[in-house]
C-alpha cells in the first residue's frame, strides 16, 4: 500500500470585513474553515486569535487598540505573514458591496510571494472588477460555489482520489 507523503496544503481565507457584523464575519470564516479543513486543507484567516471581537456590532477599518493582537500594525503584519506562508489564498468577493482594501492587499501579497496561488470568486461588474484585481488573481471564478468546488477537486485529485469518488461539499 502506497503512503501519501505530500505535505498538507495551507490555505488563507480572505473576505470583506469592514462594515459587517461580527456574526456575519465569524459565521463566514467558521463555516468555510470547517468545510475546507474537512477536505484536508490547513486553514488560516484574519480572524484567528480575534475572538475578543465577536461582540462587535459592526466592524470598522481601524481603531482596535485595546488588544495587542488587534492593533492596526499587528493586523497588517500578521495577515501578511499568513498570506505569504500559505500555499493558496482564497479571496471571496461574491457579496462585496464596496472595494475591500484588506482583500486587495491580501491578494497583492499572494502575488508578490511567487509561491502562493490565488483564487478569487467575484461577479462581473462588481466593486472589484478592476484591472489590478483581474491581473493579481491567478484564477477567478464567478461564484464562491464554483471556487469551492475547484478547491475540493484540486485537493482530492492532488491526494489521489479519482474524480468520480469525490465527496460533495
State the fold for domain 10-163.
Rossmann fold (3.40.50)
Three-state SS at 118: strand
pLDDT at 35 over 60: yes
pLDDT at 146 over 60: yes
Query: Which pLDDT does position 62 carry in this prediction?
Result: 66
* Contact assessment for residue 110 and residue 116, using Cβ atoms and an 8 Å cutoff: yes
Query: Which pLDDT does position 1 carry in this prediction?
Result: 45
State pLDDT tens for residues 106-141: 999 999 998 899 999 999 999 999 999 999 999 999
pLDDT at 168 over 80: no
pLDDT at 33 over 50: yes
Lowest mean pLDDT among 5-9, 83-87, 111-115: 5-9
Sign of CA dihedral 17, 22, 23, 26: positive
Q: Where are the domains of the chain?
A: 10-163
Own/partner pairs, 1-10, CB within 8 angstroms, 24+ separation? 4/159, 4/160, 6/158, 6/159, 8/40, 8/41, 8/42, 9/40, 9/41, 9/42, 9/87, 9/88, 9/155, 9/158, 10/41, 10/42, 10/43, 10/44, 10/85, 10/86, 10/87, 10/88
109 or 60: whose pLDDT is higher?
109
Query: Which pLDDT does position 51 carry in this prediction?
Result: 62
Other C-beta atoms closer than 10 Å to the C-beta of 18 total 14
Backbone φ and ψ for 24, nearest 5 degrees, come out as: -65, -45
Amino acid at each position: 500500500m502506497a503512503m501519501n507523503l505530500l505535505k498538507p496544503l495551507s490555505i488563507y481565507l480572505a473576505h470583506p470585513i469592514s462594515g459587517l457584523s461580527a456574526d456575519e464575519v465569524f459565521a463566514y470564516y467558521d463555516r468555510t474553515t470547517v468545510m475546507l479543513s474537512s477536505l484536508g486543507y490547513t486553514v488560516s484567516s484574519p480572524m484567528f486569535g480575534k475572538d475578543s471581537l465577536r461582540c462587535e456590532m459592526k466592524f470598522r477599518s481601524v481603531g482596535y487598540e485595546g488588544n495587542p493582537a488587534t492593533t492596526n500594525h499587528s493586523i497588517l503584519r500578521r495577515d501578511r505573514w499568513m498570506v505569504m506562508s500559505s500555499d493558496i489564498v482564497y479571496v471571496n468577493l461574491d457579496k462585496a458591496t464596496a472595494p475591500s482594501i484588506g482583500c486587495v492587499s491580501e491578494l497583492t501579497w499572494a502575488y508578490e510571494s511567487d509561491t502562493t496561488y490565488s483564487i478569487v470568486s467575484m461577479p462581473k461588474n462588481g466593486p472589484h472588477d478592476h484591472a489590478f484585481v483581474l491581473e493579481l488573481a491567478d484564477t477567478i471564478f464567478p461564484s464562491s460555489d464554483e471556487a469551492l468546488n475547484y478547491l475540493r477537486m484540486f485537493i482530492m485529485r492532488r491526494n489521489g482520489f479519482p474524480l468520480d469518488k469525490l465527496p460533495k461539499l
